[in-house]
Amino acid sequence: MSTPELRVEGDAVTGEIALAIAPGTRADVQDRAIDDALADAFHALAVELGVTLTAPPSRFAMPLDGRDEGGCVRFVVRGRLEGDRLVPVRPKKVARRPHADVRAAVRAEKKAAKRGGEP
């Protein structure tokens, strides 16, 4: 397990950590391990900056592909300062299915063909 090092750059909080997590570990057990590993670093950062965490430390961590040389799972840690709060930064979920634009274009063409005109 590596010691987390959190950096503040403007409004962004970044860091990385590696934890020994066995394949097939349940999500709640994994989250607890991340919380335990990041709790002291986040507490120290919150006291230093005078902010409040809006979520548990595990919400700030996202797994990276692959493992490190010691076989540990790597996590990137991302947060953002919003006033007196520190909030997690998570990637946006893609709400659209693959090829949704193509399907919409095909439907528009079919409707236009039924009407006998251009789309």
The Cβ of residue 30 has, within 10 Å, a number of other Cβ atoms equal to: 18
pLDDT-derived band at 105, boundaries 50, 70, 90: confident
pLDDT in tens, 10-64: 999 999 999 999 888 899 999 999 999 999 999 999 999 999 999 999 999 998 8
* Structure-token match 């503040």, residue found: 8
Short-list 6, 53, 58, CA closest to 32:
58
Sorted by where each begins, the domain ranges of the chain are 7-93
Beta bridge partners of 45: none
Q: Are strands 12-19 and 85-88 parallel, antiparallel or unpaired?
A: unpaired
